[in-house]
Amino acid sequence: MTRTAFDPATIAGSDDEGEDEFKAAGRRPTINDVARLARVSKKTVSRVINKSPSVKDDTRSKVEAVIKRYGYAPDPQARGLAFRKSFLIGLIYDNPNPQYVIDMQQGILNAVRGSGYELVVHPCDRRAPNFLTDVRNFVQRQKLFGVVLPPSVSEDERVAQLLTEVECPYVRIASVAFDAPECMLVTHDSEGAAEAARHLADAGHQRIAFISGPSTFKSSHERGRGFAGGLAERGLELRPEYRREGAYTFESGVACARDLLAMGSPPTAIFTGNDEMAAGVYKAARDAGLEIPRDLSVVGFDDSPLAERVWPPLTSVRLPIRDMGRIAAEKLLERALDKKERTQDDGEVFPKLVERRSTASPDPL
């Protein structure tokens, strides 16, 4: 049979034969339909979908034109069966901060868009007795290609060992390196906390408090260590009576701040382990009749959208959470494509203090 030349413009033009066919049958096009309409083999379509470099440019163009014209979308589970591997990336998290999780998901979705891979999410509780069994069942049930692990799940060596046992690739996001470079994204939380400490010390504060996240989070310890180190650089000490442990939640920020502000010599500045707790400090200060920053300076961590929604806008340490999710997913995709070298971001990000209007010099005694 002689094949006529294929013009991608035809697919994008007025020829509605294929569309009419799918509408009449009440179905979406399959990979076989794409192969037929593009006049190539099913294997070639698969190679185009998987961005194989072995496909010629003109062939790739006509297959992509058919896919765009008829709205073909590969089914991840069907692809997994055909290729004996999954096209699903999992996000396993135990994090009480909903904004953090949303931003992490968005970053991962930005990375996988157009790749044929999809995201599935799995919240969990590290304290639950069936935690590891739950993670194992999720990974095996979904037949995941790989997993992104944000804090605090990323800090659990048992999870990394489990994923290694079931041969599921993973990338851990954490404040310090726990694993091989290809499995890690390091966020250097301590450096951002140190910058917050220097900022408050340079403003003239001496009675400075710290509300940490849960002690089960490595990030809590790293942010506390960095904050204490930054104060030490300015000749100050993070005194034990000015330390409180929160839960990375608004409510815990309120409770801890009320306790601190009720002291005989209350702090003139409070640094919190995240922005949710900082918002709780705002409420406690208002309830106590204090004005921010005239009576109390506040610095948060993460620089989430909340930082610009409170009044006055919150000075916060920016951690690029969406970028973190994107970079972690890209590291997984590079394994899928068997890339030997990273072509984009490497395995670390650095926090940066964003100054707004929640800090000022303390009133003289």
Q: What pLDDT was estimated at residue 14?
A: 40
Q: What pLDDT was estimated at residue 337?
A: 63
Q: What pLDDT was estimated at residue 22?
A: 63
Q: What pLDDT was estimated at residue 24?
A: 60
Mean pLDDT is lowest, of 46-60, 279-293, 311-325, for: 46-60
Three-state SS at 90: strand
Q: Extract the tokens encoding 285.
A: 């200060």
Three-state SS at 297: strand
End-to-end CA distance of the chain: 94
Q: What pLDDT was estimated at residue 286?
A: 97
Q: Extract the tokens encoding 317.
A: 């340490």
d(CA 195, CA 352) in angstroms, rounded, equals 8
What is the rounded average pLDDT of the residues 283-291?
97
Q: Which amino acid is at 319?
A: L
What is the rounded average pLDDT of the residues 37-49?
83
Mean pLDDT is lowest, of 9-18, 71-80, 272-281, 348-357, for: 9-18
Task: Give the whole-number percent of the chain exceeding pLDDT 90.
Answer: 56
DSSP 8-class letter at 306 = G
pLDDT higher than 50, residue 296: yes
d(CA 53, CA 48) in angstroms, rounded, equals 8
Q: Extract the tokens encoding 191.
A: 């450096």
| pTM of the predicted protein model | 0.72
d(CA 303, CA 321) in angstroms, rounded, equals 9
Mean pLDDT is lowest, of 106-110, 211-215, 332-336, for: 332-336
Three-state SS at 89: strand
d(CA 43, CA 171) in angstroms, rounded, equals 30
Phi, psi of 352 (to 5 degrees): -145, 135
d(CA 21, CA 29) in angstroms, rounded, equals 9
Mean pLDDT is lowest, of 40-54, 244-258, 281-295, 338-352, for: 338-352
d(CA 295, CA 266) in angstroms, rounded, equals 11
CA angle 319, 321, 327 (to 5 degrees): 115
d(CA 22, CA 66) in angstroms, rounded, equals 13
Q: What pLDDT was estimated at residue 74?
A: 65
Q: What pLDDT was estimated at residue 131?
A: 93
What is the rounded average pLDDT of the residues 60-78?
76
Please write the tens of the pLDDT for every residue from 251-263: 999 999 999 999 9
pLDDT higher than 90, residue 85: no
d(CA 108, CA 101) in angstroms, rounded, equals 11
CA 176 to chain centre: 16
Please write the tens of the pLDDT for every residue from 186-207: 999 999 999 999 999 999 999 9
Task: Give the whole-number percent of the chain exceeding pLDDT 70.
Answer: 84
Sheet of 243-245: strands edge to edge?
243-245, 208-212, 269-272, 297-302, 315-318, 352-354
Concatenating the DSSP letter of every residue in 199-257 gives HHHHTT--SEEEEE--TT-HHHHHHHHHHHHHHHHTT----GGGEEE--SSHHHHHHHH
Please write the tens of the pLDDT for every residue from 111-166: 988 888 889 999 998 889 999 999 999 998 888 989 999 988 999 999 999 999 98
What is the rounded average pLDDT of the residues 350-363?
94
Please write the tens of the pLDDT for every residue from 303-346: 988 999 999 999 999 999 999 999 999 998 887 665 444 444 56
Q: What pLDDT was estimated at residue 97?
A: 75
